Structure 1
């Protein structure tokens, strides 16, 4: 597995962290908008990277 294939899974880890951060902020009655936007961006980047790697891997 190359570095780029491994690195795409780091985006899922970041998404999980930001979702957890949003949950903690929600419990403390703080704004969760930025955490949720960053989580959505990380999920998008995961799928974008996976599609990009599959496209050029063939």
Structure 2
């Protein structure tokens, strides 16, 4: 389960992408960017959730 240390950062990459996409959509005035910001918020939440879960697993199993 060593991969859990690194997969949590994928959520940050998605959050940055959706924040960028939401800002560019807002600046162009095409449509409402609330869905992009919502997905970015969920990705940030998932980052912290996965980080807490990985810490809990590493505390439970000190070998990895």
After TM superposition, the score normalised by the length of structure 2 is 0.84
Shift >2 Å, 4+ stretches: none
Q: When the two structures are aligned, how many residues end up with a matched partner?
A: 58
More helix by share: 1
CA RMSD of aligned residues (A): 1.3
Unaligned 5+ runs, structure 1: none
After TM superposition, the score normalised by the length of structure 1 is 0.92
Unaligned 5+ runs, structure 2: 60-64
